[in-house]
Amino acid sequence: MKHASKNRTLSRTRSQRTALLRGLAVSLIRDGQITTTKAKAKELQPRIERLITLAKQDTVASRRTVATRLGEPAGETIKKLFSDIAPRFKTRDGGYTRVVKAGQFGGREEAVIAFVE
């Protein structure tokens, strides 16, 4: 019996999967919406929502935690998350992103993940 198999592996090792999801999260913060596979979008959704929940506090500790979870990207990414994205969701308790199926392309299901308005 395989225990602790909650998350998708995406056919990658742990370090590759972490790097992939960090890159997708940074792209989503930077661009507002991205197109990827359905599995990657569903795996990214809870991670990005936790980051937004942390960013709503806007403390030094939360900034450092977000920077660590995103792999310490360029400062403008973190600045955009804390100054533009998190204040939009100040009164919202969750559900900051939505995953919309975009159809099947080349044998894989594509999806668009974007912030809700």
Please give the pLDDT value at position 18. 96
Q: Is the pLDDT at 35 greater than 80, yes or no?
A: yes
Domain covering 14-115 in this structure, CATH number? 3.90.1030.10
Tell me if residue 37 falls in helix, strand or coil: strand
Q: What angle do CA 110, 96, 66 make, to 5 degrees?
A: 100
What Rg do the C-alpha atoms of the chain give, in angstroms?
A: 15
The separation between CA 87 and the C-alpha centre of its own chain, rounded to angstroms, equals 17
Lowest mean pLDDT across 5-9, 59-63, 68-72: 5-9
Contact (Cβ atoms closer than 8 angstroms) between residue 38 and residue 32: no
Domains in the chain: boundaries: 14-115
Please give the pLDDT value at position 60. 96
Please give the pLDDT value at position 75. 87
Closest listed residue to residue 44, CA positions, set 4, 89, 7, 3? 7
The Cβ-side half-sphere exposure at 19, using a 13 Å CA radius, reads 5
What average pLDDT does range 52-74 have in this prediction? 93
The Cβ-side half-sphere exposure at 17, using a 13 Å CA radius, reads 14
Q: Is the pLDDT at 23 greater than 80, yes or no?
A: yes
Query: pTM to 2 decimals?
Result: 0.92
pLDDT digits (tens, 9 = 90+) for 3-16: 877 889 999 999 99
